Amino acid sequence: MINFLNLEYFLVAAEELNFTRAARKLYISQQSLSNHISNLEKEFDVILFNRTLPLTLTYAGQALKARARELLDLRDETYREIADIKDFSTGQLSIGVSHTRGRVILPEILPSYQTQFPGIELKLIEGNSSTLASELLHGNIDLMIDLLPFAVENVETVPVCAEEILLIAPDIVLEKAYPGRLEEIKAQLSQSTDLRLLESCPFILLKKGNRVRTIADEMFEEAQITPRIVLETENIETVLALSAKGMGITFFPRMFMSNDQSTQDHRTKFMERARLNPYPLNFRRAHGVLGIGYHKGHYMSRATKEFIRIAKERIPYNPD
C-alpha cells in the first residue's frame, strides 16, 4: 500500500530536484527526506532519483511524478467527500483572490458565511490572476474570485457582479502633455477615451499577470500605441497613489472605489484633491463580470457550494 506521506515528500523533491531545498520547504531534515524517498523506492523496488549533480529523475521517477499529484488529489477529494457525508460541522475552504479585490468583496460574504458555518476553517490565498489560476489548476485552492473568463481550462464559473475598469488621468500629466489645452483634452476623453491622445504621456501599470494589466495591454495593442511605462507594481493601490502625485496615467477598477459609503466618500475626496479624473473606457473587455471559479474535475465540497450560494445572495448579479 502506498504511503501518502512518502508520496508527498517525493513530489516536492521531484519538483525541486534538490534535496536541501525540498527538505527546507517541508520543514524536515535532509536525512528524514532521504529516508522517506528510500522507503518509497523500496516499496516500488525501483530507483527514483539519479543521485548525481545535478539531481535528476529516473524513468521510474518521471512516471511516478506524473501520477503522484493525481493520487494525492484523489486522496484529498475522497476525504472531503466522506467528511461532507459524515458531518458538515467542520472542514476547510481555501479562497483565492487578489489583495485589493479581497478587501472589497470578502467583507460582503465572509461574515455571513462564518455565522452560518462557524466550524469551517477559512484559508485565504492572495495573488495575481495568473498565480491564482495556477493554484486552482493544481488543486491548491477550492475556488477563485476574478474577472471572467478565467485564463485556465477545466473551470466552472458563476457570475457574481459587474466590474468596470476606468482610465485614471491626473490633470498635471495632461497639462504637461497638452500645455494650455487641459479642458479641451478632458472634454475629448469624456466623450471618447481614445488612448492615442495619451501616447506621449507616462503610464504607471500593474505588472504582467494581473488581469487589469492584461486588459490594458490589449487596449494599447488595439490603439496601435506603445505606452511610455515609467513604473510597474503588483499593488493596485500603489498605482493610484503614484498617479495622484502626477507620475502617470493608470487604470483602476470602479469596484475598488465604492465598496461602502464611507470608503466611497473618502476616495472621491482624495481624487478631487489630487485632481484625478476617472474616464469610462470604450473597450469591451474593460466592462466585465467578476465571477467565482472552481475546478470542474475535482469534487465540489459543500463548503464551496455554500460559499457560492451566499455570494450570490449577498451580491446579486444584474446582467443588465
pLDDT in tens, 163-173: 899 999 999 99
Query: Domain ends where: 78, 110, 133?
Result: 78
Classified as helix, coil or strand, 304 is: helix
What pLDDT does 85 receive? 67
Beta strands in the chain (DSSP E): 49-50, 56-57, 91-97, 120-126, 143-147, 155-170, 202-206, 228-233, 250-253, 276-280, 287-295
Does some domain include residue 99? no
Tell me the C-alpha to C-alpha distance, in Å, between residue 27 and each of 6, 23, 31, 95. 14, 6, 12, 24
pLDDT (0 to 100) of residue 261: 43
Residue where the block lists cell 472589497: 104
Give the mean pLDDT of the chain: 87
Kindly state whether residue 301 falls inside one of the protein's structural domains.
Answer: no
Residue 314 lies in a domain: no
CB distance 195 to 223 below 8 Å: yes
At 258-286, the pLDDT tens digits run 555 445 554 556 566 667 888 999 898 89
Three cell numbers at 228?
511610455
Give the pLDDT confidence of 47-99 residue by residue, as tens digits. Answer: 999 988 899 999 999 999 989 988 998 888 888 778 766 666 677 899 999 87
Compute CA distances 6 → 10, 16, 215, whole Å. Answer: 6, 15, 43
Among 199, 190, 204, CA closest to 250: 204
Q: How confident is the model at residue 7 (pLDDT cuts 50, 70, 90)?
A: very high
Residue 167 sits in the same domain as residue 280:
yes
In this structure, is residue 92 part of a structural domain? no
Q: Among 27, 47, 78, identify where a domain stops.
A: 78
Say what the pLDDT of residue 100 is. Answer: 77
CA distance 40 to 60: 12
Domain that holds residue 74: 4-78
Residue 112 lies in a domain: no
Q: Please indicate, yes or no, if residue 94 is contained in any of the structural domains.
A: no
More confident of the two residues 4 and 266: 4
Q: How confident is the model at residue 12 (pLDDT cuts 50, 70, 90)?
A: very high
One domain for residues 169 and 282: yes
CATH code, domain carrying 51? 1.10.10.10
Residue 154 confidence (pLDDT): 84
Q: What are the tens digits of pLDDT across the range 109-155? A: 999 999 998 988 999 999 888 889 889 888 889 999 998 888 778 88
Residues 67, 182 within the same domain:
no
| Burial call 65-101: b when 16+ CB within 10 Å, e when fewer | beebeeeebeeebeebeebbeeeeeebebbbbbbebb
Question: What CATH number is associated with residue 218?
Answer: 3.40.190.10
Asked whether the whole model's pTM tops 0.75, one would answer no
Confirm whether 103 is domain-assigned: no
* β pairing state of 56-57 and 155-170: unpaired
Count up the domains in the chain and report the number.
2
Q: At what angle do helices 99-116 and 236-244 cross, to 10 degrees?
A: 130
Residue 282 and residue 167 share a domain: yes
173 domain-assigned: yes
**Residue after which a domain boundary falls, among 78, 103, 118:** 78
Confidence (pLDDT) at 63: 93
> For residue 180, what are the contacts with CB-CB under 8 A and spacing of at least 6?
none
